[in-house]
Amino acid sequence: MRVLRLRRALGTLLALGVLGASASCTAARGDDARGGGEHRAALTPFERLLPAPASARAAGPGYAVGPGTVIRTSRGSGEEVRRVGELLAEQLRRPTGLPLPVVDGALGDGIRLRIDEDAQGVGEEGYRLESRPDGVTLTARTPAGLFHAGQTLRQLLPVAGPGTVPGGEITDAPRFAYRGAMVDVARHFFTVEQVKRYVDQLAQYKVNTLHVHLTDDQGWRLAIDSWPRLAEYGGGSEVGGGPGGHWTKAEYRDLVAYAGERYVELVPEIDMPGHVNAALASYAELTCDGKAPARYTGVKVGFSSLCVGKERTYEFIDQVLGELAELTPGRYIHIGGDEAHSTPAADYASFMDRAQEVVARHGKTVVAWHQLSAARPAPGAVLQYWGHDRTPAAEKTRVATAAGAGNPVILSPADRLYLDMKYDQATKPGLAWAGVVPVKRSYSWDPGAYLPGLPESAVLGVEAPLWTETIATRADWEFMAFPRLLSLAELGWSPAGSLDWDTYSRRLAAQGPFLDAQDITFHRAPDVPWQ
């Protein structure tokens, strides 16, 4: 019975061209496929890929990675491709135990990285991977595409030891341009080293954006030269009364560069006009009554506001956002705009008008939480939707209407993609205000047909935020993110036609050993058939 269901699900993928011709798949599966009984056939490496590629066809014998394997980049492709090759070598050395030198010269056996600006069907970020006995060729239009190809290659090899990349061909490209995660380093402080570890985890599943929530009532985490007390004093607190902390500009630059080398763009957020108690505590001149509040270590939201009527407020945001823009090679600056419950609606709208102007003046595109749609989103400003099934229809309509007027949307439904929601009532860390979110629920929805009136073309992509009111350790962070982060990765990358829980859950189960090998703490969710 189970086998039958599996066959049907695999059949759907085959029919959609996701897994290629059935004959070659069966051949590649070999004896496993005939294993029968109540044992499910083991997935072949092509079938196991997560996120599922746009198309894959197993055919013929593959390439055995061994002691003689080299990684080839050609001088003509430039320094950046060389760097992608070096990084791939570094990532493959540990699991394979092989030296994998990176050499100049595209011709010859081995793993070859090549840029072809005319490559078809791969877009800006996609790639082609061809595996034959004489080698594996990765082809892309951009170094980013080659990087993603390398991440696919990692999954085609065994968790440990050398192995054979199965013969065949993959042509792959993402469904959405924006595939993001967010981490809140304000409620609890995390070091740049900890965030870098997350960057590695994201990049490996082709997630290309990391939104960092840098400021909130409980702490200000980034040094700003023109307002030094923000980090020095406002950074010295966190939820629960711990010491907090902040990042220097040098540390932040280092994080930006580290992420950039892995094709992860940082989107920094300074939340305003609410969520600003740490700033008000640091500078009394930012409050309307001139009295600085105490630092805050609780978990309430919506009680603080910048003083909308004061000109000093706008000098403040101009200087802060100016310094932030200067640290940001990426396109976006996130200005929050959520839960401004203590800012009257008219004040909120006039404040957000000016804040959006400031961002534009510093050459960046605004991202804001979808509450901005109730004010006046600037042309091109991106709205991040964080509603859920019980969000009033009128609020959803407002977002869809703004999208129709030219404001692209990032979807972060709280009851699907909020990584701080509990898996079930027994989950120790986490909140449940949007409901509990089992792994299946995080996966089983379609971003292209999610909000009424919001066409797929207006969806920039998806993002999974991790708020940290209840999360203070790396173990809890990873436990909440994994494996639901992989739902996000697949929803963002894979074609709509390949989204299918039955096959996905088996592919996810196959990732277990890879997560274990990297010492990633994850929730062994009961709805996934872990081996």
Catalytic residues: 339
Provide the pairing of β-strand 382-385 with 365-369: parallel
Per rule CB under 6 A, is residue 450 in the interface with ligand TNX?
Answer: no
Per rule CB under 6 A, is residue 418 in the interface with ligand TNX?
Answer: yes
List C-alpha distances in Å: 210 to 73, 106, 202, 269. 28, 33, 8, 11
Candidate residues 130, 172, 269, 338; the one interacting with ligand TNX per rule CB under 6 A = 338
Residue among 418 and 450 whose Cβ is closer to ligand TNX: 418
Q: Which residues touch 521 (CB under 8 Å, ≥6 apart)?
A: 474, 475, 478, 479, 482
Tokens, residue 478: 């990873």
Residue among 245 and 302 whose Cβ is closer to ligand TNX: 302
Least distance (Å) between residue 369 CB and ligand TNX: 4
d(CA 303, CA 488): 31
Least distance (Å) between residue 202 CB and ligand TNX: 20
d(CA 431, CA 299): 11
Per rule CB under 6 A, is residue 190 in the interface with ligand TNX?
Answer: no
Q: Which residues touch 331 (CB under 8 Å, ≥6 apart)?
A: 265, 364, 365
Per rule CB under 6 A, is residue 339 in the interface with ligand TNX?
Answer: yes
**Residues from 460 through 479 that contact ligand TNX (CB under 6 A):** 467, 469
Q: Which residues touch 327 (CB under 8 Å, ≥6 apart)?
A: 249, 252, 253, 256, 268
Residue among 470 and 494 whose Cβ is closer to ligand TNX: 470
CA angle 55, 58, 64 (to 5 degrees): 120
Candidate residues 46, 189, 386, 479; the one interacting with ligand TNX per rule CB under 6 A = 386
Measured distance between the N- and C-terminal CA atoms of the chain, rounded to whole angstroms:
19
Residue among 42 and 301 whose Cβ is closer to ligand TNX: 301
Residue among 150 and 377 whose Cβ is closer to ligand TNX: 377
Least distance (Å) between residue 392 CB and ligand TNX: 16
Report how many residues bind ligand TNX under the rule CB under 6 A. Answer: 10
Residue among 19 and 462 whose Cβ is closer to ligand TNX: 462
Residues listed for the chain: 531
Q: What are phi and psi of 271, to 5 degrees?
A: -80, 135
Per rule CB under 6 A, is residue 369 in the interface with ligand TNX?
Answer: yes
Least distance (Å) between residue 275 CB and ligand TNX: 6
Least distance (Å) between residue 412 CB and ligand TNX: 8
Q: Could you tell me which of 366, 358, 372, 266 has the C-alpha nearest to residue 317?
A: 358
Residue among 47 and 338 whose Cβ is closer to ligand TNX: 338
Tokens, residue 69: 């394997």
Residue 327, burial from CB neighbour count under 10 angstroms (0-12, 13-18, 19+): middle
Least distance (Å) between residue 370 CB and ligand TNX: 8
Least distance (Å) between residue 469 CB and ligand TNX: 6
Task: Give the SS3 label for residue 418.
Answer: coil
Q: Which residues touch 401 (CB under 8 Å, ≥6 apart)?
A: 373, 453
Contact yes or no for 463/411 (Cβ under 8 A): yes
Candidate residues 172, 415, 420, 476; the one interacting with ligand TNX per rule CB under 6 A = 420
Binding flags for ligand TNX, 251-290, as an x/- string (CB under 6 A)? ----------------------------------------
Binding flags for ligand TNX, 344-363, as an x/- string (CB under 6 A)? --------------------
**Residues from 286 through 325 that contact ligand TNX (CB under 6 A):** 301
Q: How many CB atoms are located within 10 Å of the residue 79 CB?
A: 10
Contact yes or no for 122/140 (Cβ under 8 A): yes
Residues of this chain that bind ligand TNX (CB under 6 A): 301, 338-339, 369, 386, 418, 420, 431, 467, 469
